[in-house]
Amino acid sequence: MTLSESSTAKLSALYDQDYYLWLTTTAKLLRENQLSALDVTNLLEEVEDMGRSEKRAVYSNLKVLLMHLLKCQCQPEKRSNSWIASIVEHQQRLKQLLKESPSLRSHLTEIFDDCYQDARELAAAETGLSVDQFAIASPFSVEDILDAQSDLEIKSHRESESPD
């Protein structure tokens, strides 16, 4: 076993023993351009997982945003500031994810319909309404949820609270 193979084997073992130390050691090796000493197998796994994690974040935030928009639409009399805050928060999270990684927009578009179906089920579970009371096809577009929709919901909510 050569010196670099030995270093790589030790680094690979470190991955399971002390993940944080593995990360800092890997970063140091990369900075120092010591590529032959890298634990490439685990490094590739981590890089690929980072991409999956970003995609999961898009899915999770989109689902919650759609669920709250559906709840606001179907039960406007129960619309609360916490629903509105959730809409704004998840819209902000999605916008930030897309700002940092614009290529995720195509993923958001790809998963939109599936995510909407999951949001329908969640909205039904949270409201006690039948899932059939929520439109089968999304009444919202990607542009709606990223741009104006939360503003419309907030304005509508505030107007309903204002005395005439």
The string of pLDDT tens digits covering residues 64-96 is: 999 999 999 999 898 888 888 999 999 999 999
Mean pLDDT over residues 30-56, rounded?
93
Residue 4 pLDDT grade (very low, low, confident, very high; cuts 50, 70, 90): low
At which residue do the structure tokens 């578009």 appear? 109
Given a cut of 60, whether residue 146 has pLDDT beyond it is yes
Please provide the average confidence, as pLDDT, over all residues in the chain: 87
Residue 8: count of CB within 10 angstroms of its CB: 20
The pTM is what? 0.75
- In this model, does residue 45 exceed pLDDT 80? yes
Question: Could you tell me the two tokens for 28?
Answer: 């140091």
- Which pLDDT score, from 0 to 100, does residue 163 have? 44
The rounded distance, in Å, linking the Cα atoms of 149 and 120 is 17
Largest separation between any pair of C-alpha atoms in the chain: 82
| pLDDT at position 142 over 80 | yes
